Amino acid sequence: MGKGFVAAVPGAKAGRKPANGAAALSRAEETRLLKAARTGDEKALREIVQMVSGPAYRFSMGFCRNTDDAEDLVQDVMATLLRSLDSFRGESSLSTWTYIVAKRACGRRRQRAKRQMSIEDLGPNEADRPDPGPGPSHRAENSELSAALEAAIASLPDAQKQVLVMRDVEGLSAAEVGKVLGLGERAVKSRLHRARLVLREKLAPYVKGGDAPAPAESCPDTALMLSRYMEGELNATVCKRMEEHVSQCPSCGGTCESLRQVLGACRTHGDRPLPEDLRKAVRSAVKMAIATR
């Protein structure tokens, strides 16, 4: 991969990426699938669940302290989605609708948790105990970069985490993310830029270009400019100026390369399969939905 400023960034400007490697559905295909599911068609119900369970799980993992909580939350989300098929009007895509439901479910769960336990209720050392990060099974399954990425995403403030997961892990557009969060595209992109810069800093030791020398005081904020370029915020004149600078500056070239590597890892991070026990629980939810229709 080249180090030029406008070199391609895999997946960075793409729309929603297909789930489980399947071809992405058009809105017309989604409409036909929903129509069949509403009649109790088992194949259609299973296909819908396959499409949305992965994104729901990854979104939930970003906001829960452990895998068990995330899996419980996904089951809540799946149950809500299956119960609400008849009321879904199709004004947004299935994926966008899934995130809206997941966001609400996360909010409800957090409110319950706050009522049940405050920081004063913790033991003397519990509040200062560091987050253990990914469990042994995840450490065994994931590469060092993937584990570091998971920890870095978890460390982001919620406002940045939500945007980054939906945009860079799941591949929603900025407009779709804004619809889920009730934000304008400008606000979405502002949060996204901040999140990307934090991730690049945290993951620099793990990616190509991360060991580049520190930029000179006269250098632009190359990581921010590249992030803005990815979101279509730079005009041709600025892009040309940045391309000329990056081609002559090893430090800024390394910055561009490291950010591309981080975003590539984000897209790969979204390809992880559901845990087997969660897949079984989701299948049970589908059977129950079929039985009650």
Number of structural domains found in the chain = 1
The pLDDT, as a whole number, for residue 116 is 60
More confident residue, 63 or 284: 284
Domain boundaries, position 262? 24-116+145-291
pLDDT, average across residues 146-153: 90
pLDDT band at 293 (very low <50, low <70, confident <90, very high): low
Q: Name the pTM for this structure.
A: 0.76
The pLDDT, as a whole number, for residue 234 is 94
pLDDT, average across residues 109-133: 50
Q: 248 pLDDT exceeds 80?
A: yes
Instruction: Flag whether 125 is in a domain.
Output: no
pLDDT in tens, 179-236: 999 999 999 999 999 999 999 999 999 999 888 888 999 999 999 999 999 999 999 9
pLDDT band at 58 (very low <50, low <70, confident <90, very high): confident
Q: 129 pLDDT exceeds 70?
A: no
Alpha helices in 156-292 (DSSP H): 158-164, 174-181, 185-203, 222-230, 236-248, 250-269, 276-291
Instruction: Flag whether 186 is in a domain.
Output: yes
pLDDT in tens, 150-193: 889 989 998 999 899 999 998 899 999 999 999 999 999 999 99
The pLDDT, as a whole number, for residue 136 is 45
90 φ/ψ angles, rounded to the nearest 5 degrees: 80, 20
Instruction: Flag whether 229 is in a domain.
Output: yes
Two tokens at 81?
């989605």
pLDDT band at 113 (very low <50, low <70, confident <90, very high): low
Instruction: Flag whether 84 is in a domain.
Output: yes
Two tokens at 225?
């400019």
- pLDDT above 90 coverage of the chain, percent: 35
Instruction: Flag whether 2 is in a domain.
Output: no
Q: Which residues of 17-31 are buried (b: 16+ CB within 10 A; e: fewer)?
A: bebeeeeebeeeebe
Instruction: Flag whether 7 is in a domain.
Output: no
The pLDDT, as a whole number, for residue 14 is 44
pLDDT in tens, 3-51: 578 765 554 444 445 444 444 678 888 889 889 988 888 888 888 888 8
- Report the C-alpha gap between 179 and 190 in whole angstroms: 15
Instruction: Flag whether 167 is in a domain.
Output: yes
Instruction: Flag whether 3 is in a domain.
Output: no
What's the maximum distance between 2 C-alpha atoms anywhere in the chain? 66
The pLDDT, as a whole number, for residue 8 is 53
